Amino acid sequence: MTDLEEAWAELDEANAFVRWWIGRPSYHDDVRGAEHWQQWAFDPREKRKAGKRSRSVTAIGSTEVDCLRAMARELRELRPAL
């Protein structure tokens, strides 16, 4: 299994409990020297309101693998303590 496949598996495992909608990671290279990967996720059960969602997270990493692992960490933090 590659690092990328492992990172996706880690993200899937982290999302199994919260079941948020997770977007595809995207590469941002619009600022030279500040290139990064970014990924967004949100709770689809949140009631829609005008304006910004309150239950969403954005993960950023220097590589796609780092971005996926950052998102997995974000989602694990949403789990209530057992």
Which pLDDT value is given to residue 81? 52
Span 27-77, pLDDT tens digits: 999 878 889 999 999 999 888 776 677 889 999 999 999 999 999 999 999
Q: Does domain 3-78 have CATH number 3.30.160?
A: yes
Q: Which helix or strand (DSSP H or E) is residue 73 part of? A: helix 64-78
What predicted TM-score, i.e. pTM, was given to this entire model? 0.87
Domain boundaries, the chain: 3-78
Angle formed at CA 43 by CA 13 and CA 79, multiple of 5 degrees: 45
**Position 3 pLDDT exceeds 60:** yes
Cross-strand bridge partners of residue 28: 36
Closest listed residue to residue 71, CA positions, set 21, 35, 28: 21
More confident residue, 57 or 79: 57
CB 22 within 8 A of CB 7: no
